[in-house]
Structure 1
Amino acid sequence: MSARTNAAIAPFPVGGGELGALIAAFDWSKTSLGPIGNWPQSLKTVTNLLLLSPVPIVLLWNEDGVMIYNDAYSEFAGRRHPQLLGSKVREGWPEVADFNDNVMKVGLAGGTLAYRAQELTLERHGAPAPAWMNLDYSPVVDESGEPAGVIAIVVEITEAILAERAMIASEGRFRALVNASSDVIYRMTPDWSTMHPIDGRGLVANNDSPNPQWLEENLYAEDHVAVRAAIDDAIRRKGTFEMEHRVRRPDGSTGWTFSRAVPILDDTGAITEWFGTATDVTERHRSEDHLRLVVNELNHRVKNSLAMTQAIAAQTFRGADDLAQAQARFSERIRALAQANDLLTGERGAGVSLHGAVEQAVRPHCGREDRLRIEGPNVSLSPKTALSLSLAMHELATNALKHGAWSAERGEVAISWRTYTPATGGARVAMLWRESGGPRVAPPARRGFGSRLIERGLSAEMGGEVHMRFEPDGLVCEIDAPLTIYGLAP
């Protein structure tokens, strides 16, 4: 039998799975290709070629672009298969008819086309949806050597594009989250030997490249053992790392951070990296330190107040002939003590203004505003000294109201102070209480608690000297003390 006879009876198409069977059974006489037995060898050859390919391929034959494709392309065609077989490409894909019309014109003219990530809107699941493809078009020549059709390799990459876009969107959300957060976001290698690049946000130094020296650069040497032990424990457990520790800030100061990191595991359970956040808790630590100081100061003040209350009670009631009068005097002194503590509380533990302490202790007793003058530079008192001075001023004011200048209609009190530096060195403050316009004054027969509180108490508290003179025109009290006890107010 001749080769020509063998060719004539060779089976067609060869293989091709489902599409091979469909092509063989299809009534091609109803298309412009005519009966399958009359197809030219060039058409049969390219049909066999595409049927044996695992890549999605479709053949668009003659001017109509009649479609012949393989099993892989049928998956791409989706619900249009099998109706798409033998249809005209412009009619089979009407939503992209213009695109395919250009393909046919270029291909039948002998040209080629290539598209990467080409987006086309296709009807799928009853609604138009975007699809992305890599497309390669080449002309197919017939026996005459002229282009008779176009072969297209169609690889859909929609899932990959959507996944990439989802990843980009996710990364965008992650960046937005990082930017919105005041925390430092960091990543570590599985063994924490190297820190990936980070934005330190002023808590720690920035890293533009992987940094194997992060522990030495960001933490104090004396903290390394404790931090490393917590890291090793988290690695062993493959669990969360949590620790509050000190850090060395870029400006050289000490900061505090609460650091928390979780391990990222692969399918085998091995750690691939650590992802964590570092929260700046420096201000909280400073507030806690300040609170401890305030509590200690409060404890100290309470003890002082209790001791002073005990002394006031003992001195007021010792040898008192009139209990009711002694109780009233005791109440006034306790009220003055409470007012002095109110002043200290208002100052929030800072140095107390000398002017404020005098004003609060004395002003309520003077009656008219023109009966009191207070003058002096800004000077700060320690809380303890301010308490003693306030009580002393209260005693002087009470005495002036009952027996001194303010017991008379025209009596006045002038309180003044100045700062100076003597030749021997060391700045000092001199304070003067002077009464005038009151009844004639004579030294008392015995020294009361008020006088002792003023002379002895202030001398002990301020480390200076206190002198009281009962001059005929009115009482004079002089106080001279080192300025280091006070300190100039800023």
Structure 2
Amino acid sequence: MADGADIANFPVGGGEMGGLIREFDWSRTSIGALVRWPQSLKSVTAFLLHSPVPIVLLWGEDGIMIYNDAYSVFAGDRHPQLLGSKVREGWPEVADFNDNVMKVGLAGGTLAYRNQELTLDRRGKPEPAWMNLDYSPVPDESGKPGGVIAIVVETTEAVLAERALVESERKLRALANATSDVIYRMSPDWSVMQPIEGRGLIPDNSAANPNWMEENLVAEDHAIVRLGIDEAIRGRQAFQMEHRVRRPDGTIGWTFSRAVPVEGPDGEIVEWFGAASDVTARRRGEEHLRLVINELNHRVKNNLAMTQAIAAQTFRNAGDLKDAQERFTARIVALAQANDLLTGERWASASLRGVLEQAMRTHCGEEGRCTIEGPDVELSPKTALALTLAMHELATNAVKYGAWSVPEGEVSIRWSLYMPEAWGERIRLEWRERGGPPVSPPERRGFGSKLIERGLAAEMGGTVTMQFAPEGLACVVDAPRNLYGKGE
């Protein structure tokens, strides 16, 4: 009777599974009714029922399953049918795995697996699961293994989280490799920069660097950058600024840098994560644009002043208003053509040949009536404008009164470089007309002559001589070459 009373109370407690074990008809299994259980089986059953860790006992050759409440959660929809079943039949999808477990365990061996992946049907469909598994033999009264006890700790969430982290890091590395930006990480107070690849913007940094500001930034920018960092730290907000950097080749570049704080579980900032873009080309472009605008303003003022002078000289004492208007329009057109030429060269310089060809294009008429010869010489923008207006006056005079006023007349424009003793290199340019009406010196010098002799000579720093020979007008310009390519 005492044994029956003990059996009626076995197992004592054990939660839901304790009750199910007491109510289960074990006589239908190979281990027999509870009254026949050996003490070793009852002891290990009592142990596992009071463990918070998922534990299952596989008893006998069939591996009859006895488990606790924690394991019932792991079993999912297969609980409570697993209780008292053979392990190979209870988990048929991993029968081969459990065959090996029973073989090793009943032979007295142990097994341990970490993050073991098994495909289990626990919720109506097969799904991968990862777990830490520890198998140990349980001796019976004879001292030989009577079963195998398994401690099962599922690690699926941890494994998937780790894989997600690895995938996230892989994508982040791919993004970092795909972008030309410098990706950087800073300590919470920005005192230390973590290793980075500088991508040509700043030197590479293979170790944590506490001297990053001194090494990578221009000294004059330290204060303003530090001010921006302190403001971002105080406000726990993004840092964002354009500032100069020292490039690996020693030159100064510009970067647009933006970093955001990364918080830990306690809400404290654990690091800053940022990206720095190389905006050197854009900043240089903006600076060049400012210079161009300033230069354009200067050119406009010069052109307006020149236009005002042309107007004043053209209409002063003009007897025939219509003729004066035509001459004024022609001079403005010549000035505009010179500006077109300079605009195509970004107002840096203009070739002497290009200036002469453009100035003669609308005047010389038939091919062969104008010869232009000479070596390549660059003119400053201001010299190009003055020479254009002077050539326009000579061409206009040739069309009205000189060589181009008759079909057989010709004009040659030739220039050469020479080196007088004790002087620097000079240029000599000659305008010569032939085949036109006889020429005699004018009684009065008009605006065109003054523009040629005075204006051009003053601009080029040389001399301009007008020779009114009977066979045709000649204009000789002699000036230092070093004034070409200079000026405003």
Would you call these one fold, judging by a TM-score over 0.5?
A: yes
* Aligned AA (2:125): A
Question: Residue 212 of structure 1 aligns to a residue in which SS?
Answer: coil
Deviation of 1:266 after TM superposition, in Å, equals: 3.4
Q: CA 1:267/1:45 → structure 2, altered by over 3 Å: closer, same or farther?
A: closer
Name 2:21's counterpart in structure 1. Answer: 23
Name 2:235's counterpart in structure 1. Answer: 237
Name 2:333's counterpart in structure 1. Answer: 335
Q: CA 1:124/1:479 → structure 2, altered by over 3 Å: closer, same or farther?
A: farther
Within 5 Å, give how 1:260-275 maps onto structure 2: 260-275=258-273
Range with bigger deviation, 134-143 or 362-371: 134-143
Deviation of 1:257 after TM superposition, in Å, equals: 1.3
- Structure 2 unaligned residues grouped into runs of 5+: none
Deviation of 1:9 after TM superposition, in Å, equals: 3.6
* Paired residues of 1:417 and 1:431 also in contact (CA < 8 A): yes
Name 2:44's counterpart in structure 1. Answer: 46
Within 5 Å, give how 1:142-181 maps onto structure 2: 142-181=140-179
Question: Residue 29 of structure 1 aligns to a residue in which SS?
Answer: helix
Name 1:115's counterpart in structure 2. Answer: 113
* Aligned AA (1:236): R
Please give the alpha-carbon distance, in whole angstroms, between the structure 2 residues aligned to 1:476 and 1:163.
92
* Paired residues of 2:75 and 2:122 also in contact (CA < 8 A): no
Name 2:75's counterpart in structure 1. Answer: 77
Within 5 Å, give how 1:316-331 maps onto structure 2: 316-331=314-329
* Paired residues of 1:337 and 1:391 also in contact (CA < 8 A): yes
Deviation of 1:199 after TM superposition, in Å, equals: 1.4
Question: Residue 365 of structure 1 aligns to a residue in which SS?
Answer: coil
Range with bigger deviation, 432-441 or 213-222: 432-441
Within 5 Å, give how 1:398-409 maps onto structure 2: 398-409=396-407
* Aligned AA (1:392): A
Deviation of 1:5 after TM superposition, in Å, equals: 6.8
Q: CA 1:417/1:155 → structure 2, altered by over 3 Å: closer, same or farther?
A: same
Q: TM-score, normalised by structure 2?
A: 0.95
Within 5 Å, give how 1:268-417 maps onto structure 2: 268-417=266-415
* Paired residues of 2:78 and 2:122 also in contact (CA < 8 A): no
Cα RMSD of the aligned pairs, angstroms, is 1.9
Please give the alpha-carbon distance, in whole angstroms, between the structure 1 residues aligned to 2:155 and 2:347.
70
Please give the alpha-carbon distance, in whole angstroms, between the structure 1 residues aligned to 2:217 and 2:102.
69
* Paired residues of 2:76 and 2:123 also in contact (CA < 8 A): no
Within 5 Å, give how 1:8-19 maps onto structure 2: 9=6, 11-19=9-17
* Paired residues of 1:43 and 1:142 also in contact (CA < 8 A): yes
Name 2:443's counterpart in structure 1. Answer: 445
Please give the alpha-carbon distance, in whole angstroms, between the structure 2 residues aligned to 1:76 and 1:419.
99
Cα deviations across residues 62-115 of structure 1 (Å, max 9, x unaligned)?
A: 222110011221111111111111111111111111211222222223332222
* Paired residues of 1:363 and 1:372 also in contact (CA < 8 A): no
- Structure 1 unaligned residues grouped into runs of 5+: none
Cα deviations across residues 304-358 of structure 1 (Å, max 9, x unaligned)?
A: 1111111111111111111111111111111111111111111112211111111
Q: CA 1:417/1:126 → structure 2, altered by over 3 Å: closer, same or farther?
A: farther
Deviation of 1:174 after TM superposition, in Å, equals: 1.1
Question: Residue 364 of structure 1 aligns to a residue in which SS?
Answer: coil
Name 1:135's counterpart in structure 2. Answer: 133
Question: Residue 190 of structure 2 aligns to a residue in which SS?
Answer: coil
* Paired residues of 2:359 and 2:392 also in contact (CA < 8 A): yes
Please give the alpha-carbon distance, in whole angstroms, between the structure 1 residues aligned to 2:67 and 2:51.
10
* Paired residues of 2:27 and 2:33 also in contact (CA < 8 A): yes
Runs of 4+ that moved beyond 6 A = 4-8
- The answer as to 2:422 corresponding to 1:427 is no
Question: Residue 369 of structure 1 aligns to a residue in which SS?
Answer: coil
Please give the alpha-carbon distance, in whole angstroms, between the structure 2 residues aligned to 1:425 and 1:209.
62
Please give the alpha-carbon distance, in whole angstroms, between the structure 2 residues aligned to 1:227 and 1:327.
62
Name 1:193's counterpart in structure 2. Answer: 191
Name 2:476's counterpart in structure 1. Answer: 478
The one of 193, 207, 210 equivalent to 1:212 is 210
* Aligned AA (1:34): G
Deviation of 1:7 after TM superposition, in Å, equals: 11
Question: Residue 356 of structure 1 aligns to a residue in which SS?
Answer: helix
Please give the alpha-carbon distance, in whole angstroms, between the structure 2 residues aligned to 1:23 and 1:461.
115
Name 1:224's counterpart in structure 2. Answer: 222
Q: Percent of aligned pairs with the same residue? A: 71
